[in-house]
Chains A and B, each alone.
Chain A
């Protein structure tokens, strides 16, 4: 007969083992990536799991095959512009739908939520033709435009706005602030953690986006880091050593954003589920 205390301890050890294993599996590919960046391709495909001496060679290969500063600049430009615009336009809408509720807008809101179910594959061809008509194929504007109004982010902001204290708005209005001033000077600062969480989600989605940029960006000098990794990595015999350098470089910005804003991110997520 096992005592209650012992049983308790055994089950808590089991919890640590399961979670530890999960954490290990989750982190392992990151280690593999870093180790791989220092190994030659033949070492990588033979599963070598210790640091090698091919880092410089891999980096040289990658930097000669790819115009790294330009590609990074492309990714950064697209991501920053699209993220700022998405946060602005979508938070305006989320706030507007919640604060200025009307029956007609409520119907539009429902319709808008339905667009969440539209698969991108069904939009790809008409969007491509539309961009062709505007003469925007192979431009970064074409990548940014369709991402700005995100139904998901609007939904997220509307949910979070429910927690925005009415007293603040009322007081501001009594003080004679205009609606846009209330939004800019009161709502935005108060909702910092909501913005932070949305920032992380949008930043990562756009930095990592693949299918639409693949369709629209056709020349090498407009491509993003994600597209470059894909074209190097999907070759039949990829030069894994060089690709690893690319994946490390592509992952650093998202890792940085995540760790810099992790606390606000968790707070923001909690706020939206409440």
Chain B
């Protein structure tokens, strides 16, 4: 249908448009826009619990002198920088393997690989925790296979604790991201691949120079959503470390303390300081904004 006739068919009174989008806009204004502005205002305040008074930049000063904050920042970045690339690469490779035309059992394999994301973050974390205990399934299996001599200290060593969390998150989210890639791949014309194959382009080159560029919008989408997700990491680290329990460190040497977990602790566990917690939360807002911008920018540059 042409643009002109579309315009002609549009209803004259705009009231319908507002009736359709109105309820959602009101809810978003009340439960997203207002709180995020309120939180910005609170970040300039300090005090115990709900009794806040204006503190100017005191919270920012505290932020830069807070070793726990820097620990949380470092951990969050480790999870983000290591986990997101591993997971997305894995998802992309799996999707393109699943997409080969004469693959048997495709539906079955796809379902199996997607299945982890029906589990709740809390439930799967408990499952992983029970598999990674000192003399548990993973260590026993690794020893029996001769890969290690003594069990890996998953729960007591900072490095291995982070590794376990990264393995767990990758298990949970790879299939989810793979579905997006698969869906996008169905829209790529098969004849392009056929032509490349007949021209003798090897598989890896077809993947790198055909699949990846054509999937760029979806890759960007999954990168941004995964970044946002990882920067907000909470459920897993809270469950693995018992971060909800008062006072205790989050994992060995606070190795599982993420920014979100720290904010939660600042708000509900330690002597509650809503103002300072709001300041820390704005660090996440800032990081998400900057990283998303960089990712959009990087994706745009290469297209030109």
What separation, in Å, do the CA atoms of A243 and B130 have in the docked complex? 10
Q: Is B274's CB under 8 angstroms from A29's CB?
A: no
Q: Is B140 an interface residue (CB 8 A)?
A: yes
Known: A26-B113, A211-B238, A240-B130. 4 other contacts (CB 8 A): A93-B20, A119-B285, A210-B234, A215-B264
Identify the B interface with A (CB < 8 A).
1, 6, 9-11, 14, 16-17, 19-21, 23-28, 31-36, 38-39, 42, 50, 94, 97-98, 100, 103, 108-109, 111-131, 133-141, 171, 175, 179-180, 183-184, 186-187, 203, 218, 228, 231-232, 234-235, 238-245, 259-260, 263-264, 267-268, 274, 277-278, 280-282, 284-285, 288-289, 292
Q: Is B24's CB under 8 angstroms from A93's CB?
A: yes
What separation, in Å, do the CA atoms of A167 and B19 have in the docked complex? 23
Q: Is A121's CB under 8 angstroms from B263's CB?
A: yes
Find A125's partner among B183, B186, B277 (CB 8 Å cutoff). B277
Decide: A236 near B289, CB < 8 A? Known: A208-B121, A226-B123.
no
Nearest to B217 among chain A residues (CB) is: A273
Report 29 cross-chain contacts, Cβ distance below 8 Å, ordered by A residue.
Answer: A15-B97, A19-B97, A22-B94, A27-B115, A29-B119, A47-B135, A47-B140, A89-B24, A92-B23, A93-B25, A95-B20, A118-B288, A119-B232, A119-B260, A121-B264, A122-B39, A125-B281, A126-B35, A129-B50, A149-B32, A208-B120, A230-B238, A234-B126, A234-B241, A243-B130, A247-B127, A254-B119, A272-B183, A273-B184
User: Residues of A within 8 Å of B, CB-based: how many?
Assistant: 98
What separation, in Å, do the CA atoms of A195 and B134 have in the docked complex? 45
What separation, in Å, do the CA atoms of A45 and B121 have in the docked complex? 20
Q: Is A102's CB under 8 angstroms from B14's CB?
A: yes
Q: Is A166's CB under 8 angstroms from B1's CB?
A: yes
What separation, in Å, do the CA atoms of A254 and B98 have in the docked complex? 24
Q: Is A273's CB under 8 angstroms from B130's CB?
A: no
Q: How far is the CB of B288 from chain A (nearest CB, A)?
A: 5
The B contact surface, by secondary structure, is: helix
Q: Is A26's CB under 8 angstroms from B175's CB?
A: yes
Q: Is A29's CB under 8 angstroms from B124's CB?
A: yes
Q: Is B123's CB under 8 angstroms from A19's CB?
A: no
Q: Is A233's CB under 8 angstroms from B9's CB?
A: no
